[in-house]
Structure 1
Amino acid sequence: MSGPEDAIRLSNESWVKVDPLDLDMREYSWHLDRSGYAARGGSGQRIMHRIIMARVLKRALRPGEYVDHENNVKTDNRRSNLRVVTTQQNNWNKSKAPSAKWKYIGINFDSRLKTRPWRAYIRVNSIGYYIGTFTSAEEAAWMHDQWALVLHGEFAQLNFEYEKVATR
């Protein structure tokens, strides 16, 4: 087999990263499902990242437990990239939709607001909260990030990368 040592080949010739402990799954035929996850089987298909997490936990996933890709890369099924989350935490960590109108998440433009046309907002428990208006998209996106970090913690989906500051 040619290709990455730490990966499993899919039927479309792409690859899924896994840890050495999970390379035994190469014996199965895998494909990308409609959502972009590595899966095997037909209508009762099995999703690779859920199988790996069940191995980590040494038990089946319970109803209401979801497996999240921390880096939002659906083909990165390394154990260090997977975590069990609630529905809400999983939604917090969703990437911006490719069809989104703006470059940043949590903002929109209101042409009626002449001096500060960029609005920032955030959703918590399915409720949208208005953060404020700003002169630039970047400023609104930054403010969204500050609120997301406080409200969503490690599950916050951010517009910018920030340096982690060590705390004592």
Structure 2
Amino acid sequence: MRKLTLTRLKELLRYDPVTGEFRWLVRRGHVMAGAIAGSINSVGHRQIEIDGRKYLAHVLAWFYMLGVWPETDLDHESTVKDDNRWSNLREASRSQNVANTGARKNNKVGVKGVTTLPSGRFAASIKVDGKQIYLGSFDTVEAAGKAYKFRADEAFGEFARA
């Protein structure tokens, strides 16, 4: 249940769709009017506290620009979690949002969707609509990566990132 209204948001903050920044219109405790609002949370998103509740800046940007709360996930097309420029935000399903990420930091081969098998070959797999799909085993990491990219492009289109 969201209690923040568009009127209240615009009383407190100004959003610049070109830079993606929110700036305070009023002094908030020790924070001066004109200062960039919010802080970066533990996963890299900017969050802004309004009336005792924390909001993600990209969600506030959507609400500020359209006057409605997003009904789906919002994706940062550039994958930079603090890049809240209006041109960088788009609605996405959870699968599409996850597809628009690079290889995980703990990925030992450095290629998204690819793991090393005990035999020394490389396995490619992808998750689509919550279902893990095995794409095969390959002699090289490059071949496995190509298999992943082909299936990701097919499943996620513009959201695919390999």
Coordinate RMSD, CA, aligned: 2.1
Superposition pairs of residues 83-122 of structure 1, within 5 angstroms: 83-112=90-119, 117-122=121-126
Aligned partner of 1:151 in structure 2 is 155
Q: Does 1:29 align with 2:37?
A: yes
Q: Which runs of 5+ in 2 are unaligned?
A: 1-15, 25-35
Partner of 1:40: 48
List gaps (5 residues or longer) in structure 1.
Answer: 1-17, 159-168
Give the number of the structure whose residues are more often strand, by fraction.
2
Q: How does the TM-score come out when normalised to structure 1?
A: 0.71
Q: Percent identity?
A: 25
Given the superposition, is the C-alpha separation of residues 22 and 106 from structure 1 closer, same or farther in structure 2, using an over 3 Å criterion? closer
Count of aligned pairs between the two proteins = 135
Q: Give the Cα separation in 2 of the matches to 1:22 and 1:120.
A: 36
C-alpha distance in 1, partners of 2:155/2:113?
Answer: 13
Q: Is contact 2:17–2:86 with CA below 8 Å preserved after alignment?
A: yes
| 1:144 to partner: Cα distance | 0.7
Provide the rounded CA distance (Å) in 2 between the counterparts of 1:57 and 1:26.
18
Matches of 1:75 and 1:37, distance apart in 2:
5
TM-score norm. by structure 2 comes to 0.73
Shift of 1:147: 0.8
Answer whether contact 2:123 2:136 (CA < 8 A) is retained.
yes
